[in-house]
Structure 1
Amino acid sequence: MRRAVIVSTARTPIGKAFRGSLNCTKSPTLMGHAIRHAVRRASAEGSEVDDVVVGTVLGAGTAGGNLARFAALAAGLPETVSGQTLDRQCSSGLMAIATAAKQIMVDGMQIVVAGGQENISALQERYMAWTADEQDPAVVASAAHAYMPMLQTAEFVSEKYGLSRIAQDEYALESQLRTAAAQRAGVFDDEIVPIRTTMKVVDNATQTISFKEVELARDEGNRPDTTLDNLQKLQPVLEGGRVTAGNASQLSDGASACVLMDSQLAERRGLDILGTYLGMAVAGCAPEEMGIGPVYAIPKLLAHHGLRVQDVGLWELNEAFACQALYCRDRLGIDPLSYNVHGGGISVGHPYGMTGARLVGHALLEGRRRKVRYVVVSMTSGGGRAIEDAVVLAECLAAPGKAAQALEAYSSRRIPRVKRVWEASFQISRWEREDPVGNAQRTAALLLDCYKFLGEPI
């Protein structure tokens, strides 16, 4: 079967909803920014894109119509490029990437752009009110809690599974500290493309509205000075509850995109492959337990691929609420050191449709830095759904810097077996993917020859 690989990722910084830098940016512009830069990073021409797949949750107003098509046009892609918009609630961005991969693997497409966005500032209040007013009795008759607000589902999970307020606050603190450390180290810099835009400013005293030009270059949500004492002082959102503004995800605006490509095309072009899409799994759960869907979907995903939890080197599970992130991690037996290593929705922000796409890009880049093979990205979705998506990293050399030098030496010495630098790297990549065990001897021999030319001791 054809393979789909991810060759680039790009995203906007994440802005605080309502009072952040992106509070006046239209959705096509927001998503278009991520698409344009993802395509550039893939060294692709806009006319080569077969389709654009965009996930969003609040699909009305500025995000209405076929947002994917509008965003493609805003990105400067030609009119010949089509687009499709999908809604799987908070799993939308993740589902967009899975859909794009299937289009390559099954339908024969060569290049597909996929991602997600959310414009909470523009749409949240009106959209949610309208949805609440339009509940269908037929749905309620089948599932009494189908329309339960997310805050109530979080409190239900907290109570049912005994997740204390202190445990949730401790998790939230760790999330904030991890994100703060990541920002200081520039971990997100390879993902983010700064954006110039117009921000709406409301004077608190007079309620006068003005506008100013801004450039946003980093995520706005992190609170690096957070302490456990400060978190403990916050009042619960629902009286008598355990969920607070400090241990729940932040309302945010943003967009993220990836470029997926047929693996053979990517190899012919000599592109730096970030990862290979392996597959996805979904599982439903009781709507009132919305946040725990991953404990059902992840085992399905792993079983299908013959993997165990300990085989996965990096996990990204959206932090909708600390309670569900804690429960899923511990129920599945995931090592905290490989789980949401740079924080998540609590500390970075959660633009609903964007998050799944952002996490895929981040997991691939961070997985490469950590030299892990498998990464899993998981989302929980409103309405009691969960979706998982796994990708395998395309790292085949433990020391890529030295390998690159060796391959360059191969080329400069005109070794007959390797006429061009990329031919050797692609050969090794193919061997690793086809049969890493059976081809290990051939791979080692080729690398050995490379290292000999560098004068490296073996």
Structure 2
Amino acid sequence: MHRFAQPIFIAAGLRTPFGRGGGALADHDAITLAVPVAQAMAAKARPDLFVWGTVIPSLGWSNIGREIWLDAGLDPTVPSFSAVLACSTSMVAAFAAGGMLGGDKDLALVGGSEVMSNPPIGLKLEASKRIVKLFRTNPAEALSALQALTPNDLVLPIKGFANRITGRTMGDHMEETAQIWGISREAQDDWSLKSHQRAVAGWERGFFDDLVIPLPEIQRDANPRADTSIEKLASLKLAFDPESGKGTLTAGNSSPITDGAAACWVATEAGLKRLPEGTPYAELVDHEIAAVDHAEDGLLMAPSFAIPRLLARHGLRYGDIALWEIHEAFAAQVLANVAALEKPGWTRERARVDFDFGEFPWDRVNPNGGSVAIGHPFAATGARDFSQAVKELWAMPSGTLAVVSVCADGGHGTVALLRRP
């Protein structure tokens, strides 16, 4: 089974170095940070579509895809639009673009950017209505009303990037899920250490050199720590449940506040021929988007539903997948989702897939590190994962399979099946 009417491919793209929150890239916004990536990608090939996203909204634009494309000084006749699905934003942008290719469109440039350092401050509805009405009737009084605003009139990022419905952060939800699934602090710290070690090693051996464009402010990812250790990770304070003493999540085993932009290519066979020779690519065989009731299953557990559904359609067991690129929103999130995949009866009873998937191959996950170490600018992560997975898969034999998985706020999970041609 193939998802698309014709073969569709993901080709490795470019990204900025990922910067720490409040660090080298904090003076950017999601547009200015994306422009150099769009320019560098368009210098390799002219796309027929440009699809981009950002998760943290701004009143300064309504179609960030078009704003980036035009600010980059690129061909205005290229259709450019936006997509958004929380942390899966640039992944679903790729899915959407793949479904639109054909006819006279063979190559799409997709991606996402996020400057988490600068969450916007907005007005609550009543304050906004009051001041907008004053500007229409009495501009001078409206200015006075603006000066008289209080914190109660403002939408402030006091709780960070919290889910609107629950009012709780991703970490709050994940802490609860970790406790339900019995994911220990030690297991999380161990996974985090592996992520940092692999990301640092990837940089040292040059894996990221042709995936990352240096910027004047920063030349390589700022988050991976060569000097971390189990002892240092174990010494960190609890981040989301410090009062009960039952917490397990820390800044060390959670993805950090990050600024960055990332892109990849989506192409038909004809589109691939327009890319520079030697560009790594893989067929996008199939994809799955799952949604769960987060009150029942946990906010970030949808991948454990999407993965078995995707694999079962193709009669694939876990061991048939040579590479797993799993977004690490939290170390606990990776561990909990795989714990669900391994739990007897879970895939049959909860994901409603009656299939023997076998043992999960832990040694095939994130060989060059994941979001805990590299960072997680919400909208950029899907494209970063795709480019990283495609390059890793490119070094493997023809026919080798990979799974790319991203969890997303709202109880979503997006998963792709890639094949090395």
TM-score > 0.5 by shorter chain: yes
1:113 to 109, 113, 121: 109
CA distance in 2: counterparts of 1:376 and 1:40, whole angstroms: 29
Alpha-carbon distance change, 378 to 83 in structure 1, aligned in 2, over 3 angstroms = same
Cα distance, 1:268–1:235 mapped onto 2, change above 3 Å: closer
SS of residue matched to 1:84: strand
Change (3 A) 1:324 1:348: same
Give the C-alpha shift of residue 114 in structure 1: 0.6
- Cα distance in 2 between the residues matched to 1:175 and 1:61: 36
Residues 95-244 of structure 1: matches in 2 within 5 Å? 95-104=92-101, 109-123=105-119, 130=155, 146-196=166-216, 214=217, 216-237=218-239, 238-239=241-242, 240=245, 241-244=247-250
Distance in 2, Cα, partners of 1:6 & 1:171: 28
Separation (CA, whole Å) in 2 of partners of 1:282 and 1:25:
31
* Partner residue in 2 for 1:11: 15
Deviation at 1:253, TM superposition (A): 0.7
The correspondence of residues 56-455 of structure 1 with structure 2, limited to 5 A, is 56-61=54-59, 64-104=61-101, 109-123=105-119, 130=155, 146-196=166-216, 214=217, 216-237=218-239, 238-239=241-242, 240=245, 241-267=247-273, 271-272=277-278, 274-288=281-295, 289-332=298-341, 333-371=359-397, 373-394=400-421
Q: 1:270 to 1:25 in 2, by over 3 A?
A: closer
Q: Distance between the aligned counterparts of 1:342 and 1:118, measured in 2?
A: 22
Q: Distance in 2 between matches of 1:37 and 1:270?
A: 13
Which has more helix, going by share of residues? 1
- Please list every run of 5 or more consecutive structure 2 residues that lacks an aligned counterpart in the other structure: 125-153, 342-358
Distance, in Å, in 2 between the alignment partners of 1:369 and 1:120 is 33
Instruction: Report the 3-state secondary structure (helix = DSSP H, G, I; strand = E; otherwise coil) of the residue aligned with 1:52.
Output: strand
Question: Larger relative CO (CA 8 A, sep 6+): 1 or 2?
Answer: 2
Amino acid at match of 1:277: L
Structure 1 counterpart of 2:131: none
Q: Which runs of 5+ in 1 are unaligned?
A: 134-138, 197-213, 395-458
Aligned AA for 1:286?
D
How far the C-alpha of 1:108 sits from its partner, in A, is 5.6
- Corresponding position: 1:31 with 2:34: yes
Calculate percent identity across the aligned residue pairs. 30
Change (3 A) 1:33 1:159: same
Give the TM-score normalised by structure 2.
0.79
With over 3 angstroms needed to count, the CA separation of the structure-2 counterparts of 1:104 and 1:247, relative to structure 1, is same
Q: How many residues align?
A: 359
Q: Structure 1 residues 121 and 132, CA, compared in 2 at 3 Å: closer, same or farther? A: closer
2:121·2:156 contact (CA, 8 Å) conserved in 1?
A: no
| Alpha-carbon separation, structure 2, partners of 1:226 and 1:111 | 41
Q: Distance in 1 between matches of 2:274 and 2:213?
A: 27
Aligned mates of 2:37, 2:175 — CA distance in 1: 35
Aligned position for 1:54: 52
- Residue 258 and residue 79 in structure 1: after superposition, are their counterparts in 2 closer, same or farther (change >3 A)? same
Match of 2:141 in 1: none
C-alpha spacing 1:269/1:360, structure 2 compared with 1 (3 Å): closer
Instruction: Identify if the C-alpha distance between structure 1 residues 347 and 311 changes in structure 2 by more than 3 Å, giving closer, same or farther.
Output: same
Conserved 8 A contact 1:39-1:259: no
Instruction: Tell me the CA shift for residue 259 of structure 1.
Output: 2.2
User: In the aligned structure 2, how far is the partner of 1:388 from the partner of 1:108?
Assistant: 28
Shift of 1:334: 2.8
How much has 1:59 moved relative to structure 2?
2.0
Contact 1:148 1:287 in 2 (8 A): no
Is the CA contact (8 Å cut-off) linking 1:112 and 1:259 kept in structure 2?
A: yes
Q: 1:59 to 1:390 in 2, by over 3 A?
A: farther
Give the SS at the match of 1:307.
coil
AA partner of residue 59 (structure 1): P
Alignment partners' CA distance in 1, 2:178 and 2:94: 31
- Report if aligned partners of 1:315, 1:338 keep a CA contact under 8 Å in 2: yes
1:142-161 CA-partner distances (Å, limit 9, x unpaired): xxx64432111111111101
Cα 1:11–1:168 change in 2 (3 A) is: same
Measured in 1, the distance between the counterparts of 2:211 and 2:55 equals 22
Q: Distance in 1 between matches of 2:208 and 2:308?
A: 29
Q: 2:58–2:120: 8 Å Cα contact kept in structure 1? A: no
CA RMSD between the two structures: 2.5
Equivalent residues of 1:35, 1:75 under 8 A apart: yes
- What is the SS of the residue equivalent to 2:75? coil
Local SS of the residue matching 1:60: coil
Q: Could you report, residue by residue, the CA deviation over 1:389-448 in whole angstroms, capped at 9, with x for unpaired residues? A: 222222xxxxxxxxxxxxxxxxxxxxxxxxxxxxxxxxxxxxxxxxxxxxxxxxxxxxxx
8 Å contact 1:248–1:320 — kept in the other structure?
yes
